[in-house]
Amino acid sequence: MEERAIRIITTGGTFDKHYDAVKGELTFRESHLPRILNQSRVTLPIHLDALFAVDSLVMTEEQRQRIAENAIASVEDLVVIIHGTDTMVQTAKLLEASIPESDRHVFVFTGAMIPYALEESDAVFNLGCAMTAVQLLSPGVYITMGGRVYAADGVRKNREKGIFEAI
């Protein structure tokens, strides 16, 4: 299989939160991605694009549009987007609606229910699933969480169970 570069776009979300012991809250600093990729011994060519770091509950429509525009403009046709789980589906659907008909990108959204910086995080597993999925899927927009891959328009976050599920 031909080795293709992957663009990873980070937008914040629980995935990249840090625990601030002084304030006693989760905040944003630098992205955990470089450390995770190094720790996971990723040998694929990766291009990181840190757009911003926000909780998806406060993400604006302008920020969602910026994610879509940035993803579609990517010279790499394999794109992983790290996003907060609360509104990930909303942004994925916006991206899907914005894609030109001839587009050949594979877009995979992922995130974490528990921050990477905390014990028992699902961040590394979800990123690994997304990195594999983006290389194997046909062009389109997908979400991968908890070891499953969903079409962007066929998934929802079940807040009571703390999982993503097909609809």
Q: Which of 1, 4, 20 is nearest to 106 (CA)?
A: 4
101, amino acid identity? E
Average pLDDT, the chain: 89
Ordered domains of the chain (ranges, CATH): 6-166 (3.40.50.1170)
d(CA 3, CA 158): 35
Tokens of 162: 């703390």
pTM of structure = 0.90
- Calculate mean pLDDT across residues 147-167: 95
The answer to whether the CB of 133 falls within 8 A of the CB of 144 is: yes
- Calculate mean pLDDT across residues 117-143: 93
